[in-house]
Amino acid sequence: MKAIYQTRYGKSDVLQYGEQELPKLKSKEVRIKNHASSVNPRDWMIRGGRYQLQFLVPSFPLILGSDFAGEIVELGDKVVGFSLGDRVFGMKNPSEGLASYAEEVLAPAENVAIIPEGIPYIDAAGVPLCSLTAWQALVNKAGLKSNMSVLIIGASGGVGSYAVQIARALGAEITAVCSEENAAMVRDLGANKVIDYHQSDFLKAGDRYDVIFDTIGQHTLKICKPVMNSGGTYVSTIPTPENLKAMAVTKIKSLFSNFCKQASVVMVKSDGGDLEQIAKLIASGNVRPIVDRVFPMQGACQAHDYSRSLRAKVKII
């Protein structure tokens, strides 16, 4: 199969386009003819050997990529609930082998979901990792519910854009932090209020929140505490020692008080059940995939450079 792979760590020029061996199917996996993948920041972190969990990354030759969207062409002998030809999408973590920058992808059946009808593969490929991160942060970690107030830092990025839409679907009051350049898009996604971080500091805005979701990882519970309501939750996507310590300490404290302000870290997990919930929101029109730019496989270097520039809005395919 054709794939994008690397044989050493480095800049985007280490990415090569060429033939790689077809992966061998296991009994609980499905083989997917892959039509599209997306670029996530962790792709170029892994490529350069600078990912926080680099020890989980497969050995060389390394095929990067987490997200995939395609059709099932082979079923493991213990797979139930799926059929040949099903249009599916999903994601793979480093511990699961990555390898979605390829024409064929293997994934455990329990980690994939049916793509909603009418959604093209290109749109679907940008959904899994970012939407699952947002869902698992807001729903699984923070327990966001209707009428709760949520602040989303980095609201115009891949994770942030899904967080805004999911929070809106849940009936929350949303304040989004992004640049003024992206404010109109974020309001269109469902934000009730937008704070331009170039002009204002949400810590000094006078508002308080039940949930703060930091998709950028530049803040901490200690910094955000003054603008959080009692019993509120700060969720970060970055597992720094400070965030992990705060998560452990506040988890214990919360056992004794409902008013404890808690910290949590979301480490996205492949989960077909969670992705099915997101697919329902897409099917109902409450969540829509948004694509910034599309590159051919041979343009993976340029796609990485564009992502690394931090100029991209939402998803790169």
Tell whether 118 and 196 lie within a shared domain: no
Residue whose entry in the numeric block shows the structure tokens 């796609």 = 303
Tell whether 106 and 63 lie within a shared domain: yes
Residue 277 belongs to some domain of the structure:
no
Tell whether 70 and 166 lie within a shared domain: no
CATH of the domain at 178: 3.40.50.720
Residue 276 belongs to some domain of the structure:
no
Which DSSP string do the residues of 9-47 spell out, in sequence order? Answer: --SGGG-EEEE-PPPPPPTTEEEEEEEE--B-HHHHHHH
Helix spans in the chain (H):
41-47, 121-124, 128-135, 158-169, 183-189, 221-224, 241-254, 272-283, 300-308
Tell whether 160 and 258 lie within a shared domain: yes
Residue 284 belongs to some domain of the structure:
no
CATH of the domain at 74: 3.90.180.10
Task: Supply the range of the domain harboring residue 310.
Answer: 2-127+289-316
pLDDT value of position 171: 98
Tell whether 191 and 119 lie within a shared domain: no
Q: How many independent structural domains does the chain possess? A: 2
pLDDT value of position 103: 98
Tell whether 79 and 135 lie within a shared domain: no
Residue 280 belongs to some domain of the structure:
no
Tell whether 6 and 119 lie within a shared domain: yes
pLDDT tens-digit profile, the chain (317 residues): 999 999 999 999 999 999 999 999 999 999 999 999 999 999 999 999 999 899 999 999 999 999 999 999 999 999 999 999 999 999 999 999 999 999 999 999 999 999 999 999 999 999 999 999 999 999 999 999 999 999 999 999 999 999 999 999 999 999 999 999 999 999 999 999 999 999 999 999 999 999 999 999 989 999 999 999 999 999 999 999 999 999 999 999 999 998 999 999 999 999 999 999 999 999 999 999 999 999 999 999 999 999 999 777 889 99
Tell whether 123 and 139 lie within a shared domain: no
Tell whether 20 and 147 lie within a shared domain: no
pLDDT value of position 313: 81
Tell whether 12 and 58 lie within a shared domain: yes
Residue 270 belongs to some domain of the structure:
no
